[in-house]
Structure 1
Amino acid sequence: MIICSANEISKMYGGNSIFENISFEVHEKNRIGLVGRNGSGKTTIFKLLAKVEDPDRGNIAWKKGMKIGYLAQIPTFSSTMTGLDVLETAFSELNEIEKEMKALEIAMSKEPDRIESLLIKYGELQEKFTLNGGYEMEASIAKISNGLNIHNLIHKPFHTLSGGEQTKICLGLMLLQEPDLLLLDEPTNHLDIQAVEWLEGFLKEYKGTVVLISHDRHFLDEVVNKIFDLEDGEIHIYHANYSQFVKEKEEMLLQEFQAYQEQQKKIKKMKETIKRLREWANQANPPNAGLHRRASSMEKALERMEKLKRPILEANKMGLHFQQKDRSGKDVFVLENVEKSFGDKLLFTEANMLVQYGERTAIVGANGSGKSTIIKMLLKEEVPTAGKVKVGNSVKVGYLSQHSSFHNSDRKLIDVFREEVAIPEGEARHILARFLFYGPSVFRKVSGLSGGEKMRLRLAQLMYQNINFLVLDEPTNHLDIESREVLEEALEDFPGTILAVSHDRYFLNKLFPKTYWIENETLYPFAGPYSWAKGKLAEQQPKEEVTRNQKETTPTVVRKQKAKKVDHSYQEIEEKLLRLETELANLDDNMMRENNIDRLQELEEEKRTIEKQKD
C-alpha cells in the first residue's frame, strides 16, 4: 500500500533550483535509504515529506490519518523536565487514560449507586489502556534507554544536556511514539557502535515505514531494502541495499555512457551526411532541389531526436594525498600499565598499547569509555593517573578531530589555510580547489562553514604538512560517502602510522587490521579488524564477568525499585510466565464475579502488579 507519493515536485532556495519535477512513491513497511552528496537536497525532501515545507511546484499526497515522525530540530521542553519526563511524553494519551481510570476508581468508592455505569466506563478505558500498551510503558522506556545507551542521561534535567545528548533523548522519544512514517536524518551521528547496532535491529523489526539519510554504509546495508539516489536534481530508485546499489549504479552508468557514445557517433554521421548532401546539391547545375529536401528532412529528424545526457562517470572529488618526508622510529606510541580516572570515575586500568611505525590501529568502545582520553594523553592534553605514556623519536603528529576548530574563525578560509601552509595565494587557491573550494568560496569566513567543509579544510592543511603519524578522532563524521571513500584511498596510500577512533564500522573494517577495545575498564588488544575483534571479545570475557556487568549497568528506568535476583534459566522463566498468566486469568474471573467495590479495587491493584512482573 502506498502511504506517500510525490508527483512532479520542484523546490528552489534563493533562486537556486534544488531539484525539478521529481516523482516517487513510499510504500508501507519500506526501508528506504536516501543518499546523495552533501547539498544535493536530501534534507529538503525530508522537510517536504514531514510537511515542514511545501514544494514550489507539484504535490505530495499522504495516507489519511498517517502519523509522521521527524526530528528537524530539538524541541523546547520545560526547564523542570528530566530526560525521563521527555520520554514519557510519548505516552501522554495513555497517561490521561490512566488518570481517568484512577478518577473512576475514586468515584466508584464514593458513589455505590452508580457502580454499574462506572464499571462499564472503567472496563472500556481499561481495554483501551491495555490494547495500547499501557501496562508496558515502563518496559518500553527501559528497552529504548538501554538500547540507545541513554540510561545515564534520563534522570538529568533535559535543558542541561549537550546538543548531542538532547538529540539522543529526542531520538528515543520518536522511537517510543512509533509513527507510521519514521524520517531519520543521520540517526547514528551521536551514537556509539553498540547503540548503532541496537538501532539496526530495532529498525529491522519496526512495524512502520522508515526513510533515513545516512553516510554510514554498514548501517545502510543492514537496514534498507531500497535506495533513493538524489543526484543533479534527479532521483533514481534502486531495489537494493547500499552495496548492491553501488554495483547496479556503476553498471547502469556504463550502459548509459555506451548508449551516449553510440548516439554521438550517430549524430556525427548524420551531420556529415547533411553537409555532404548540401554540397552535392549546390555542385549540381542547376542546384538539385531533391538533395536539398533530403538534407532538410534529415536535419529536422536530428532536431527531433531526444538527446541523451552525458552521464557523469566520476563526480568531482577531493584530491587527497598525504605526504611524508621523514619517517619516525620503530615504536611510535606506547602505553605501559596506564590507569586513568576522573574523580571517582575509572575509565581503564593497567592499559597497555604498542603502536609501531607503519601500523593502522583503531581504538573502539562505548561513548565515555576513554577512547578520546587516550588521544588526549598522546597529545599531552591529559596525563595518566598511573603508568607511562611514551611518544617515540622523530614522531610528527597530525591530528584530525571530529570537532575541527580554528583560531580566528572570523577570518577567511584561504587565510586560515595559509596559517598552517606557508605558500603564495595563487598556489593555495589551486590546492583548495582540489578540496572542492572553488573560486570565490575560498574567501568565505570559517565561522560560516558546515561541519563537512571544516573537515575538508583541516584535511587540506594536514596534507601539506610534514607528518608521519596521523591521529584521527571520528574523521568521517561530517563527510558524505564520496568524501569518505576519497579519505580511505588517501589513508591507504599514506606511508606513515595511523591511530584512529571511529564508530564507522565500514571504515574500521576496511583500513585497520589492529584493534584495541575498551570494555569494562580494560583495554583489550586484537590482531584483527573491528568485526573480527567483536567476536573475539565475546570469547575473551568470562561469562560470569559479562553477567555481573550486565546486572551492574542495567538501569531502573522509571521507578527505582530494589533489584530482585534474576533467574537466567529459560525453563524457569517460562514456568514463571505461565504461572503469572494463570494468576491473571483467575483474577479476571474473580473480578467478573465480584460486586464489592473495595474488593474490586484490591483485585485491580493486584492485577497491575502481576502485569508489571510479567512485562
Structure 2
Amino acid sequence: MNIINMSKLSKSYTGDLIFEDIKYDLNEGDCVGLVGRNGEGKSTLLKLMAGIEVPTEGQISWQKNISIGYLNQLPQYEADKEIYECLSEVFKEINHVSQKMKFLEDEMANNADDLERLLKQYGALQETFEEIGGYERDTLIRRVSHGLKIEQLLNQTWGNLSGGERTKVGLAQILLQQPKLLLLDEPTNHLDISSIDWLANFIKQYNGAVMIVSHDRYFLDETVNQILEIDQGHLHIYHGNYSYFVKEKEARIIREFEAYQTQQKKIKKMEDSIKQLRLWASQAKPPNAAMYKRAKSMEKALNRIKRLDKPVLENKKMNVNLTEGQRVSNDVIEFKKVSKMYEDILFEDIDLLIRRKEHVAIIGNNGTGKSTLLKMMMHQVEPDDGEVHCASNLRIGYLSQHTFENIENQTVIETFRDVVHVTEGQARHILAQFMFYGEDVFNKVESLSGGEKMRLRWAQIVNQDFNVLILDEPTNHLDIDSKETIEEALLEYEGTVIAVSHDRYFLNKLFDITYLLQDKQLTKYEGNYGYVKEKLS
C-alpha cells in the first residue's frame, strides 16, 4: 500500500531548477536509498516528503494519519535539561498515563476511605500503560542509547553536548518515535563502526518504511532493497541494493547511449533524404511539386520525433594524480611499548610497525585514541611511555577531518597558495581540476561546505611531494563520485598510506593491513576490514 505518492514533482530555488518531473510511490515496508551527487536535491526531496517544503510544480500526497520521523535540524532544549529527559519526551502518551498513575498512587496512600474506587481507576490505567508499551519505555531508551553510544550522555545536560553528540541524540529521538515513515539524512555521520552496524540491524528489523540519504555505500548495501538516484535533475529507480545499482546503472547508460546513437542515425538519414528531395525538386524542369510535398511530409515526421537526450557517460570529477615524493627508508614509522593517558588510559604498551608502500588502516570505536595515534606519528602528541621512531626523510601529507575549521576571511585560492607556491593563473588551473571553477576560487573558505573543504585540502596534498599520507576520515562529506576518485588515486599511489576511517567500503577496497584499537590494546590483522570482522565474529 502506498504511503507517499509523488506525481510530476519539480523544485526550483530562485529560478534554478533542482529536479523535475519526479514520479514515485513509496510503499509500506520499503527501505530505499536516495543517492546522487552533492547539489542534486536529495535533502530537498526528503524535505518535500516530510512536508517541510512544497514542490514548485506537481503534487505529493500522504497516507491518512501517517507519522513521519525526520531529523531536519537539531532539537532545541534548555541548556540544563538532562538528555534522558529529552529522550523520554518522545513517549508523550506513556508519560501522560504514568503521571496519572503516580497521582493515584499518592491518593491511595493518603485516602484509605476511597481505596476501592482508586484501585479500580489505577487498574484501568495500568492496563492502558501496558497496552501502549509503558513498561518497555526505559528498556527501549537504554537499547537505542547503547546502540548509538550515547549511554554516557543520559545524565548530562543539553548545554554540555557537542554538535555531533546533539545530532546523535536527535537520531535517537527519531528511532524511539518508531514512526510509520523514517526519513534519514546521512544517519551514519558522527557514528563509529559498531554504532553503524547497530543502526543497520535496527533498520533491517524496522516495521515501517525507511528512506535514507547516504554516501555510505557499505551501509546502503546492508540496509536497502531499492535505490533512487537523482542524476541531472531526473529520478532513476533501481530495484536492489547499492551494488546492484552500480551494475544496473552502467547497463542503463549503455542502453540509453545505444538508443541515442540509433536515433541520431535515423534523424541524420531523414535529414539527408529531405535535403536530397528538395534538391531534386528544385532541379527538375519544371520544379517537382510532388517531391516538395514529400519532403514537407518527411520534415513533419522528423519534427514529431521525441529527441532523446545524449546520456552523460561520465560526470565531472576531481582530477587526482598522486605521486610519491623523495623515497623514504623501508621502516617508515615504529611504535615500541607506547602508552598514552589523559583523564583515563587511552592505550598502553602498544607496538606498531609501518613499512614503505604499505596501506594501513586503523579502526576502533570513537574515543579509543585513533586520532591520537596519528598525531603521535607526526610528533604533535608525545607518548607518556615508550618510543616513537619515524624515518628521517619523512614528508607527511596530513588530512584532518576538521580541516580548515579555524581559517577566517581567506579565499579558496589564497588558502591553496599558502602551501602550494604557484602563480594565480596556475592555481586557478589546478583548482579547476578539483571542481572550483571561475569565481569559485574567490569564495571564503569559512563559507565552504564540508565536501568543498575536503576537495580543497586534497588539491593542496596532490600538489606537494609527500612520501607518506596520514588521513583522518578522508572520505567525510564527499559524495560517492568524489570518494571513488580518491580511492582510484590512492590505489595507484606508490607511497605509504595510513588512514583512520569509519567508511567500511573504503577500508575494504584500499587497505590490506588493519590495526584494531580496542580495550587499550592495538592488534594487527593482515587483511582488510571484512577480514577483521570475520575474525572477530
2:79 partner amino acid = S
In the comparison of the two structures, how many residue pairs are matched? Answer: 537
Q: CA deviation at 1:511?
A: 0.3
Give the whole-Å Cα distance in 2 for the aligned partners of 1:282 and 1:27: 62
Q: Residue 338 of structure 1 corresponds to which residue in structure 2?
A: 338
Find the aligned partners of 1:259 and 1:220 in 2 and give their Cα distance: 30
Alpha-carbon distance between aligned partners in 1 of 2:536 and 2:57, rounded to the nearest angstrom = 54
1:82 lines up with 2:86 in the alignment: no
Q: Which residue of 2 aligns with 1:607?
A: none
Matches within 5 A, 1:78-227: 78-108=78-108, 118-227=118-227
Alignment of 1:269-288 (within 5 A): 269-288=269-288
More deviation in 510-519 or 137-146?
A: 137-146
CA apart distance, 1:378: 1.2
1:323 and 1:466 in contact (8 A); partners too? yes
Shift of 1:111: 5.5
Correspondence for 2:517: 518
What residue is the counterpart of 1:16 in the other structure? 16
Q: Kindly tell me: are residues 217 and 393 of structure 1, through their superposed partners in 2, closer, same or farther at Cα, counting changes over 3 Å?
A: same
1:432 offset after TM fit, Å? 1.1
User: Gapped runs of 5+ residues in structure 2?
Assistant: none
**Would you say the 8 A contact 2:516–2:524 is kept in 1?**
yes
- Mapping of 1:116-515 within 5 angstroms? 118-343=118-343, 345-405=344-404, 408-515=407-514
Please name the residue that 2:29 is paired with: 29
Give the deviation of 1:70 after TM superposition.
0.7
Letter matched to residue 204 of structure 1: K
Post-superposition offset of 1:113: 6.6
Aligned mates of 2:536, 2:110 — CA distance in 1: 61
Deviation of 1:209 after TM superposition, in Å, equals 1.1
Q: Bigger shift: 366-375 or 172-181?
A: 172-181
Task: Note the C-alpha offset of 1:420.
Answer: 1.3
> Letter of the aligned partner of 2:161 in structure 1?
L
Say which is worse superposed, 50-59 or 392-401, in terms of deviation. 50-59
Partner Cα separation in structure 2 for residue 307 and residue 353 of structure 1: 61
Report the Cα distance in structure 2 between the residues aligned to 1:146 and 1:90, rounded to whole angstroms. Answer: 17
Q: Does 1:68 align with 2:68?
A: yes
1:393 alignment partner, SS class:
coil
Between the aligned partners of 2:154 and 2:378, the Cα distance in structure 1 is: 33
Q: Matched residues in 2 for 1:124 and 1:67: separation? A: 27
Deviations 1:473-520 (A, max 9, x none): 000011001100000000011110000000001100110000110111
Q: How far, CA to CA, are the matches of 2:516 and 2:239 in structure 1? A: 36
1:4–1:60 contact (8 Å) kept in structure 2: yes
Pairwise CA distance, 1:21 = 2.3
Residue 131 of structure 1: how far off its partner (Å) = 1.5
Offset, 1:454: 0.4
Q: CA deviation at 1:172?
A: 1.0
Structure 2 counterpart SS, 1:90: coil
Aligned to 1:568: none
Q: Give, in whole Å, the separation in 1 of the partners of 2:134 and 2:484.
A: 47
Identical aligned pairs, as a percentage?
49
Q: CA deviation at 1:537?
A: 4.0
> How far apart in 2 are the matches of 1:349 and 1:110?
59
Q: Distance in 2 between matches of 1:270 and 1:368?
A: 68
Does the CA-based 8 Å contact 1:338-1:389 persist in structure 2? yes
Deviations 1:14-66 (A, max 9, x none): 22111122121111111010100001001111111111111122221111111
- Matched residue SS, 2:498: strand
Is the contact between residue 336 and residue 349 of structure 2 (CA under 8 Å) also seen in structure 1? yes
Structure 1 residue runs without a partner (length 5+) = 539-615
Find the aligned partners of 1:325 and 1:79 in 2 and give their Cα distance: 50
Question: Which residue of 2 is the match for residue 546 of structure 1?
Answer: none
Measure the CA separation in 1 of the matches of 2:400 and 2:110. Answer: 66
Counterparts of 2:225 and 2:474, CA distance in 1: 27
Amino acid at match of 2:153: L
Aligned twin of 1:536: 535
Which residue identity lines up with residue 414 of structure 2 in the other structure? D
Q: How far off its partner does 1:112 sit? A: 6.2
Post-superposition offset of 1:325: 3.3
Q: 78-87 or 120-129: which moved more?
A: 120-129
Q: Is the 8 A contact 1:402 1:478 kept in 2?
A: no
**Separation in 1 of the partners of 2:466 and 2:112?**
85
Q: Distance in 1 between matches of 2:60 and 2:115?
A: 51
User: Does the 8 A contact of 1:183 with 1:212 survive in 2?
Assistant: yes
Q: Distance in 2 between matches of 1:408 and 1:132?
A: 51
Which secondary structure state, in structure 1, belongs to the residue aligned with residue 153 of structure 2? Answer: coil
CA distance in 2, matches of 1:408, 1:206: 43
Structure 1 residues 65 and 117, CA, compared in 2 at 3 Å: closer, same or farther?
Answer: farther
Distance in 2 between residues matched to 1:457 and 1:105, nearest whole Å: 63
Q: The residue matched to 2:527 in structure 1 has which SS?
A: coil
Instruction: Give the letter for the 2:397 counterpart.
Output: G
Q: Secondary structure at the match of 1:73?
A: coil
Shift of 1:107: 3.7
**8 Å Cα contact 2:404/2:445 also seen in 1:** no
- Distance in 2 (CA, whole Å) between partners of 1:66 and 1:125 is 27
Aligned equivalents of 2:208, 2:362: Cα separation in 1: 36
1:531 shift after superposition: 1.3
Give me the whole-angstrom Cα distance separating, in 1, the residues matched to 2:61 and 2:123.
38
Which range moves more in the overlay, 197-206 or 73-82?
73-82
For residue 131 of structure 1, what is the amino acid of its counterpart? E
Per-residue CA deviation, residues 461-481 of structure 1 (Å, 9 max, x unaligned), is 100101010000000011001
* Post-superposition CA distance 1:574-613 (Å, at most 9, x none): xxxxxxxxxxxxxxxxxxxxxxxxxxxxxxxxxxxxxxxx
Question: What secondary structure is seen at the aligned counterpart in 1 of 2:104?
Answer: helix
| Structure-1 separation of matches of 2:369 and 2:106 | 53
Residues 34 and 228 in structure 1, CA contact (< 8 A), matched pair in contact too: yes
Runs of 4+ residues over 6 Å off in structure 1: none
| Distance (Å, rounded) in 1 between the aligned partners of 2:63 and 2:300 | 47
Distance across 2 between alignment mates of 1:57 and 1:537: 52
Q: Give 1:123 shift.
A: 3.2
Q: Secondary structure at the match of 1:75?
A: coil
Letter in 2 for 1:51: G
- What secondary structure does 2:250 align onto? helix
1:51 aligns with 2:51: yes
Counterparts in 2 of 1:26 and 1:117: CA distance versus 1, 3 Å: farther
Q: Distance in 2 between matches of 1:247 and 1:238?
A: 10
Distance across 1 between alignment mates of 2:279 and 2:136 = 86
Match of 1:558 in 2: none
Counterpart Cα distance in 1 of 2:313 and 2:370: 39
Deviations 1:123-150 (A, max 9, x none): 3322221012111112111111111111
Query: Aligned partners of 2:110, 2:354: CA distance in 1, in Å?
Result: 75
Q: Which residue of 2 aligns with 1:3?
A: 3
Aligned residue identity for 2:528: P
Whole-angstrom CA distance in 2 between matches of 1:33 and 1:15: 28
